[in-house]
Amino acid sequence: KAGVTQTPRYLIKTRGQQVTLSCSPISGHRSVSWYQQTPGQGLQFLFEYFSETQRNKGNFPGRFSGRQFSNSRSEMNVSTLELGDSALYLCASSSPDRGEEKLFFGSGTQLSVL
């Protein structure tokens, strides 16, 4: 079974631009969560989507948004990029509706903001 797939692997953007990251969950998983990982703050929860609805949200500004499609694929968008947004963005999928609470992570998208 294929794992969680994130694209692209690397991105370089400049301040003020916006970016969209993509995540394809494990087949059959309906929950997708997004995390930001930085050396200073570690892994921090951004938001979670289940059946196209946002169920949980972390403490990030409104510039960070996401959505989920009917096939469970998810996208995350960051608008008006700031230098501090440089990070590894990780997507994780799970299947809580089937009792599978464990999160399985993708390899992440490394975003650099110049």
Subset of 84-113 contacting another protein (CB under 8 A): 90, 92, 94, 96, 101-108, 110
Sign of CA dihedral 55, 60, 62, 66: negative
Give, as one character, the DSSP assignment of residue 83: G
Q: What is the largest CA-CA distance in the chain?
A: 42
The site that binds another protein (CB under 8 A) totals a number of residues, namely: 26
Cα gap 73→85, rounded to integer Å = 23
5 or 20: CB nearest another protein: 5
Contact pattern for another protein over residues 8 through 37, marking x by CB under 8 A: -----------------------x-x-x--
Contacts of 63 by beta carbon, 8 Å cutoff, 6+ apart:
78, 79, 80
4 or 81: CB nearest another protein: 4
Contact pattern for another protein over residues 49 through 88, marking x by CB under 8 A: -x----xx-x------------------------------
